[in-house]
């Protein structure tokens, strides 16, 4: 499944792992903000996500770390959406 199909899937959760201030300056419509450093403390939020999870950040670096972290915690369907700008391209398709 490619990223566009994942985004179009109504069960997919989109998570912005940037800091709150970055999120407030602009984000993918419908994304929730869970900063990378808070992921271990926010597992209850992830447990409510019953479909694929796409994580993104400013450049794709932090989202790559988030993807690795979540997979190590047992989440199988976690995808790195890359940078916010990459995600916004998909939003316009």
CB atoms within 10 A of CB 64: 15
Instruction: Tell me how far apart the alpha carbons of residues 15 and 30 are, in angstroms, rounded to a whole number.
Output: 9
Instruction: Specify burial of residue 40 (Cβ count, 10 A radius: 0-12, 13-18, 19+).
Output: exposed
The kind and range of the H/E element at 69 are helix 61-72
Active site residue 43: no
**Which listed residue (57, 70, 78, 84) is catalytic?**
57
| 30 exposure class (CB count in 10 Å sphere: 0-12, 13-18, 19+) | exposed
Catalytic residues: 57
């Amino acid at each position: 499944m490619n990223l566009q199909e994942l985004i179009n899937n109504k069960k997919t959760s989109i998570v912005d792992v940037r800091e709150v201030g970055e999120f407030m300056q602009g984000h993918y419509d419908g994304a929730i903000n869970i900063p990378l450093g808070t992921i271990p403390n926010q597992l209850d939020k992830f447990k409510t996500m019953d479909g694929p999870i796409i994580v993104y950040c400013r450049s794709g670096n932090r989202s790559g770390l988030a993807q690795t972290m979540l997979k190590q915690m047992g989440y199988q369907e976690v995808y790195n959406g890359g940078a916010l700008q990459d995600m916004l391209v998909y939003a316009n398709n």
